[in-house]
Amino acid sequence: MEVIEDSRLNRFHYTLLAILGTVWAFIAVNTISAGFVIALLKNDPAFQGSLTRLGSLGSAALFGMLFGAPLFGYLADRIGRRTTLALAVSTFSIASVVSAFAGNLETLIALRFIVGLGLGGSLPVASSYFAEFMPKSVRGAMISILESFWAVGTIIVGVVAILVGADWRSVLLFGGAVVLVLPLILALPESPRYLLTRGRIEEAEKTVERILGVRAKLSVPGERKRASVGDLWRRYGRRTLMLSVAWFSIAFAYYGFFIWLPRFLASTLGITVFRSFQYFVITAVAQLPGYWSAAYLLERIGRKKTLSYYLLLSGIAGLGFYFAARSGSEAAIISSAIAFSFFNLGAWGAIYAYTPELYPTEVRGTGTGWAGAMARIGGGIAPILAGRIMELSGSALAVLVIAVVAIVGALDVLTLGEETMGRSIG
């Protein structure tokens, strides 16, 4: 749609960024809250368990995301981006509130899985929806800025955890506050790209006129076969393989590190849990410049280089944490954690900009949903595996494994990736 591709940013684009950015921040709140809840459950006798079992709590939402991403991605290509996003947000906000009243660990794990269904659906649908409204000249940077709201949510949940003290239930209740944004989501227009694929030409033209202030004569794109997950591999096999490995790696590294970061810091530095929460917030602040620098580089050196370099540097930072933990240097531990936070989250900004550009409109929701599912497999495995490694060999070795996986992801993108900077998303 050239009329959107060639447009400039206006009030609508910034309104869309604010609304979806708020959703994105609460997705982070609901995801990262598991790390604080795990750290606080030791004070509640009804929720005791081994590190591996507590790791299952951290993984529950991630495994929910595994099913939520393709489910809601499929719905986005069938019933529309806006409606599907509203359903996904409703799912995780309501489930988060209900989980605050769980009476035992098993119930909490089950409810966290339902939270994950909505979280897994919200991420790919929101990114596809946002990308379809953005001019190609700034699309990569704008998606990276949208992704930076994750850091805002991470900082917020860290502050909330500090303020509420040992009351982990209040952390989960706070995660449900995103339900207040639902009326704003429902007031947004449907993606004109999606409307055209459904033959709703007049509605698409009115939407373009509403957001750009110009009349446009649109036409249904040439007949396109509606793709399935199988078609992702038959028609876009190299891209899908590259994205599968990249999303698995980046999520494994992120969730393995940040779900356990309060525990990593407390055990390696010998500090209290609440002191580790303060350090967590410091590392979270480093995520913002990580996103912003990636947003700049996406439109300068391209998507492939930015993603692969940031993944590689996050892996190197993880190696630094491993050696710092073994030496016991507090300054080196905190510095390497900050560096990991900077580069890993910059990589997230890059991969969210990169992925929608690799698939055409009729399969974009399915493609980004599949990529999200690979991330949830990696993210779901990581907290359990890290917890088990800590039980056997301590925090340092767990971070070493995380670092190696991040480096593998960087090599995957360098080897199989293709550049999409300046490409029309079709």
Higher pLDDT, 319 or 69: 319
Q: Is 238 left (phi over 0), alpha (psi -120 to 50) or beta?
A: alpha
Higher pLDDT, 425 or 421: 421
Name the average pLDDT for the chain: 85
pLDDT category, 7, cuts 50, 70, 90?
low
Task: State how far the Cα of 159 lies from the Cα of 280, in Å rounded to an integer.
Answer: 10
Residue 227 has pLDDT above 60, yes or no: no
Q: 315 — phi, psi (to 5°)?
A: -65, -40
Residue 376 has pLDDT above 60, yes or no: yes
Provide the pLDDT for residue 43.
Answer: 65
Two tokens, residue 309:
């370099």
Q: Tens digits of per-residue pLDDT, 322-353? A: 999 888 888 999 999 999 999 999 998 899 88
123 in Cβ contact with 372 (< 8 Å)? yes
CATH fold of 2-416 reads: Growth Hormone; Chain: A; (1.20.1250)
Domain residue extents for the chain: 2-416
pLDDT category, 36, cuts 50, 70, 90?
confident
Residue 224 has pLDDT above 80, yes or no: no
Residue 355 has pLDDT above 80, yes or no: yes
Residue 364 has pLDDT above 80, yes or no: no
Provide the pLDDT for residue 2.
Answer: 55
pLDDT category, 220, cuts 50, 70, 90?
low
Distance from CA of residue 2 to its chain's centroid? 29
Q: Tens digits of per-residue pLDDT, 102-113? A: 988 889 999 999
Task: State how far the Cα of 255 lies from the Cα of 402, in Å rounded to an integer.
Answer: 9
Provide the pLDDT for residue 342.
Answer: 96
Q: Tens digits of per-residue pLDDT, 251-285? A: 999 989 988 888 788 878 887 777 888 888 889 89
Q: Tens digits of per-residue pLDDT, 283-314? A: 989 988 998 899 889 888 999 999 999 999 99
Average pLDDT over residues 130-142: 81
Q: Tens digits of per-residue pLDDT, 199-209? A: 777 787 788 77
